[in-house]
Amino acid sequence: MKTRWDMHLQIEDVFHNDGLTLPEKRAIILSRLRALPAHNDDDDEFEGILEELEHPVDPLDASEFNSVWDRLYAWADDGKRLWIQTF
């Protein structure tokens, strides 16, 4: 059985761009996440992830970003069928 992905998030150009700061990468990724159909699905978990990316409790560093990113991957794999292209 072939895996079917309902949504795709293309961010390989952001992930591998060393000319961007972490806040710049975060802003671009947030913009692309908000363009996904899931953003309009009234999904509280997804909206919480976006909120945490946009307004972290602590200053966003690589560790904090990775924590939020892990939540996004878990959400994407939990029936949401979102392919996140980082390579």
Query: For the segment 32-68, what is each residue's pLDDT rounded down to a tens digit?
Result: 999 988 777 778 888 999 998 888 777 778 888 888 8
**How far is CA 3 from each of CA 6, 26, 79, rounded to the nearest angstrom?**
10, 28, 12
- 10 Å Cβ neighbour count for 7? 13
Do residues 9 and 33 touch, judged by C-beta distance below 8 A?
A: yes
Q: How much is the pLDDT for 66?
A: 86
What phi, psi does 38 have (nearest 5°)?
Answer: -60, -25
